[in-house]
Amino acid sequence: MEDKLEEVLKQYPCEVRTRRRTRGAFLLETDQGLRLLKEYSVSQARIEFEERIKQLLGQQGGLLVDHTYKNNREEYFTKDNYRNNWVMRRWYAGNECDIRDQRCVLRCASYLGRLHALMQLGNEEGESYIRKESVQQEMERHNKELKRVRSYIRSKKQKNEMEICLLGSYDLFYDQACLAQTLLQESGYEALWQETLEQGKVRHGSYSYHNVLFVGKDLAVTNFDRAEIGIQVRDLYDFLRKVMEKNGWQAEFGKSLIDAYDRERKLEETERRVLYAMLLYPEKYWKLVNFYYNSRKSWMSSKNLEKLLRIRAQEEKRAYFLRELRPLLCGAC
C-alpha cells in the first residue's frame, strides 16, 4: 500500500507532510492545505460532470465543495502501479453535522436549498446522467416486491420470528405504500419530471449529515459521487427522513426543517405533494423485506429483527408526524 500511495502522490504538485486513513480514503496535510486522496473508478465523462457541478456552486454561489485537483499531467485521474484510478480532492478542517442538534440540522436544510437553486445545467447533458428510474416507477416496483415476499412467506409451513413479524406488519405498511403510490400519481409528478429534464436540475444524491462539514462560520458540501439529473426534492426527503428517524419524528422540528429549505428555494406545490408521498412510503420496512428476500432466508439476523421491531415501535410517532405535515405539504390530498 505504501508503494502504491507514493507512486500516486509523486504525480501531484504538492508536498505531503502528514497522512492518515479516514473513511475509505486518506486525509493529507500538504503545503497547499488539506487534501483527500481516494480510489475512484468512474469514467472521464462522469468526473467532468461532477466537477462542472462543483464549479457552478463555487463560482456562482461561493459555496465550499470538494473540488478535484488535476495532477502534473493536468488530468483528474492518477494511476497507481496496478492501474487503479485515484483522485485528490480539496478537504476542510471541520466537523460533521450533529444530527441531534436542531440548529445545525436547520442550517444544513437551508444550505441544501441554496445548492438546489444553483444546480441547474439546462439540457446540455443529454441522456448521460439522468436518473434511469423515476420515483413513480420505483414505488411501483417496490410494491410488487412487497406482494411477492408476502406470498413467499405465506407459502412456508414453518416460519421464523422475523417472518412472523414481517407478516404481522404487512397490512399496515402495504396500505401506506399503495396510498403513497396513488398520491404520487395524482401529485403532478410527471410534469415535474419533465421540467426537471428540460432544465437539467441536479440533485446531490447523497446529502446526509456525513457529507456536510461545519468549517468555522461556513459549511462545506462533499461527496458528489451520486449526483444526477433528478427530482431535487428527493434530496430533501432523504435528509428529512434520516433526521426524523434519529429525532423521534418530531413534527415541529420537521416543519422547521422544510421551512428552512423553502426560504432558500421556494418549493412548488407539486414538489410538496411529491415530498409527502415519499415520506408516507414505508421505505425502511421495504428495505428490510427486500434484504430478507435477497439473503439466506433460512438464517434470521437478530439485528434485522431488532430493526423491524424498532420500525414498528416508532410507527405511532411517525403516523402523528405525517398527520401534522399533511396540511403543510398537500392540503386536502
**Is pLDDT above 70 for 141?**
yes
Count of C-beta atoms within a 10 Å radius of residue 130: 15
Coil vs helix vs strand at 10: coil
Tell me: the pLDDT tens digits for 187-210?
A: 999 999 999 989 999 999 999 999
Quick one: average pLDDT of 212-220? 95
**Is pLDDT above 70 for 140?**
yes
**Is pLDDT above 60 for 125?**
no
Tell me the C-alpha distance between 254 and 326, whole Å. Answer: 12
Q: Is 85 left (phi over 0), alpha (psi -120 to 50) or beta?
A: beta
Structure confidence at residue 323 (pLDDT)? 97
CATH homologous superfamily for 102-330? Aminoglycoside phosphotransferase (APH), C-terminal lobe (3.90.1200.10)
Count of C-beta atoms within a 10 Å radius of residue 274: 28
Work out the pLDDT band at 301, boundaries 50, 70, 90: confident
Tell me the C-alpha distance between 69 and 88, whole Å. Answer: 6
Domain 2-91 has CATH 3.50.50.60: no
**Cα angle vertex 82, ends 79, 84, to 5°?**
45
Structure confidence at residue 131 (pLDDT)? 74
Work out the pLDDT band at 303, boundaries 50, 70, 90: confident
Tell me the C-alpha distance between 205 and 299, whole Å. Answer: 33
Sequence ranges of the domains in the chain: 2-91, 102-330
Tell me: the pLDDT tens digits for 155-197?
A: 999 888 989 999 999 999 999 999 999 999 999 999 999 999 8
Tell me the C-alpha distance between 185 and 191, whole Å. Answer: 11
